[in-house]
Copies of this chain bind each other. A is one copy, B any other.
Amino acid sequence: VAPRRLTERQSGAWRTFIAVQQHLTAELERRLLRDGGLTGAEFTLLVPLSEAPDGMIRARDLGRAVGWERSRVSHQVARMVKRGLLAREDCADDARGLMVKITDAGRRAIEAVAPAHAEAVLELVFDALDDADVQALDTALSRVLARLPR
């Protein structure tokens, strides 16, 4: 069978997507570190934990919330416990489980950086787009997401 090839328009759009992904992510993480001393991975876990009742979520559910696998959660939690941002607690329901809890230092860190991060996303992304752009972007990306495996 003859292999399919991307059209010019598709190639162009694909290169744009790759470039935005690279530079936008890099710039957001740079600002996160500069403004609040948090890495992207730390921020990712602190967001759902700071919003949870008692600042505590089961490791399994934390992974599901952010779309990470078990081992990734385990490694990252270990690093953040060492940094004093998180603490481990036993899981009452299930002896296999682990409860992950945000510490006071973790809460201070996320609350200090959250407004600057929201401002950065607005400045770098949404200040460049009008309502129609945002709607079109969400529509197109949602179609892609819906067809992705799992």
Chain A residues with CB under 8 Å of chain B are 3-6, 9-10, 12-14, 16-17, 19-25, 27, 67, 115, 118-119, 121-122, 124-129, 131, 133-150
Contact assessment for A9 and B128 in the assembled complex, using a CB-CB cutoff below 8 Å: no
CB closest residue in chain B, given A137: B140
Closest to A67 in B: B22
* A80 to B: closest C-beta gap in Å: 20
**Contact A10:B137 (CB < 8 A) given known A3-B118, A27-B149:** no
State the oligomeric state as a number of copies: 2
Q: What is the predominant secondary structure among interface residues of chain A facing chain B?
A: helix
Q: Could you tell me if A23 and B148 are in contact, using CB atoms closer than 8 angstroms?
A: yes
CB contact between A122 and one of B6, B12, B136 (< 8 Å): that residue: B6
